[in-house]
Structure 1
Amino acid sequence: MSDNSTVKKQTSPDEAALLPPVDVIEDSSGITLYADLPGVPKEKLRLHVEADTLTIEGEIDLEMPGGIEASHAEVSLPRYRRVFTLSKELDASKVGAEFKNGVLKLSIPKAEHAQPRKIEVKVL
């Protein structure tokens, strides 16, 4: 799986986005991806898998109370976006997603042909 910044966007090309920090853990059954998306409510989180491309998008929901403006803001962009190219070894049709406390967890299993398998030895 690799980061891919040249995939076409669904929003305007000049709209900037934050890159969420991501941890990827691989084992014999597939990969687990953790993306930190603080401030994104579940209803503003979008995941897309098309061919071998995985896109994570989310809009930050940090509203200020009536008429108050922040004197200092470290998060100045209102959205996250990260695009990955999935390996052919992964089964993109079986992606599982969980979202809890601003952390997105994606589980992507390896395709059947890429799974480790035991080979039976016949005695002749």
Structure 2
Amino acid sequence: MAATQDVTTRQSADVPSQWSERQAVLNPPVDICEDAEGITLVADMPGVSRDRLNIEVDKNTLLIEGDAHFDMPEGIQALYADIHSTRYRRSFALSPELESNNIDATLKDGVLTLRIPKRAELRPRKIEVRVN
């Protein structure tokens, strides 16, 4: 599984229509764990809500995109921000041993968790031994 790593600037043709202006895109930090049943990806995407999240699979490529929104109290203006972009984007090449049509996604407190199972025929299985 390969992942993009750098902060990039995308032109409007490379990003969804709601992201029409040219701006920096952040790659969210992602932890990837594998077990006998599949893989789990955990992405930190603070400020992204379910309706501002886009997850797509095209052939063997997984694409995660999100638009963060931070509410500022009325009458308060930000003087400084460490992060200058609110757009997240990350893509991964998926192994053919994964069931990309059976991805389970959850979002809680700005943490996106994706569970991608391995194809059933590739999972370890226990063989029962019968006694005659």
TM over 0.5: yes
**After TM superposition, which residue ranges in structure 1, 4 or more long, deviate above 6 angstroms?**
120-123
Q: Is residue 34–residue 40 contact of structure 2 (8 Å, CA) maintained in 1?
A: yes
The yes-or-no answer on 1:106 pairing with 2:111 is no
Aligned equivalent of 1:9: 14
- Structure 1 alignment gaps of length 5 or more: none
Aligned equivalent of 1:83: 91
Residues 66-105 of structure 1: per-residue CA shift (max 9 Å, x gap): 5643211011102100000001111101000011111001
Instruction: Output the CA distance in 2 between the equivalents of 1:27 and 1:41.
Output: 28
Q: TM-score, normalised by structure 1?
A: 0.84
Which is bigger in relative contact order (C-alpha 8 A, separation at least 6)? 1
In the alignment of these two chains, the number of paired residues is 122
Instruction: Output the CA distance in 2 between the equivalents of 1:3 and 1:13.
Output: 25
Q: Is residue 4–residue 85 contact of structure 1 (8 Å, CA) maintained in 2?
A: no
2:81 is matched with which residue: 73, 80, 84? 73
1:58 is matched with which residue: 66, 78, 83? 66
Give % identity: 47
Aligned equivalent of 1:96: 104
The amino acid across from 2:33 in the alignment is I
SS of residue in 1 equivalent to 2:101: helix
Aligned equivalent of 2:9: none
Aligned equivalent of 2:50: 42
Output the aligned Cα RMSD: 2.6
The amino acid across from 1:76 in the alignment is H
CA deviation after TM superposition for structure 1 residue 64, in Å: 3.3
- Structure 2 alignment gaps of length 5 or more: 6-12
Q: TM-score, normalised by structure 2?
A: 0.79
